[in-house]
Amino acid sequence: MARVFITGSSDGLGLLAARLLIEQGHSVIAHARSEQRSEQTRTALPGADQVVIGDLSSIEQTRGLAGQVNALGGVDAVIYNAGVGPYERRRVETADGLSHVFEIDVLAPYILTALIARPRRMVYLTSGMHRGGDPALDDPQWEHRAWRGSQAYSDAKLFDLTLALAIARRWPDVRSNAVSPGWVPTKMGGAGAPDDLVQGVLTQAWLAVSDEPAALVSGGYFFHKQPQQPHPAARSPEVQDALTDYCARLSGIALPA
Catalytic positions are: 153, 157
What contacts 135, CB < 8 A, 6 or more positions away? 155, 158, 159, 162, 231, 233, 234, 236, 239, 243
Pairing of strands 77-80, 50-53: unpaired
In whole angstroms, what is the distance from residue 60 CA to residue 49 CA?
Answer: 24
Q: Is the dihedral of CA 192, 194, 199, 201 positive or negative?
A: negative
Crossing angle for the helix pair 237-251 and 108-115, to the nearest 10 degrees: 90
Crossing angle for the helix pair 197-209 and 12-23, to the nearest 10 degrees: 60
| Cβ count near 11 (within 10 Å) | 16
Q: Is the dihedral of CA 187, 189, 191, 196 positive or negative?
A: negative
Number of H helices, E strands in the chain: 8, 8
196 burial class (0-12, 13-18, 19+ CB within 10 angstroms)?
middle
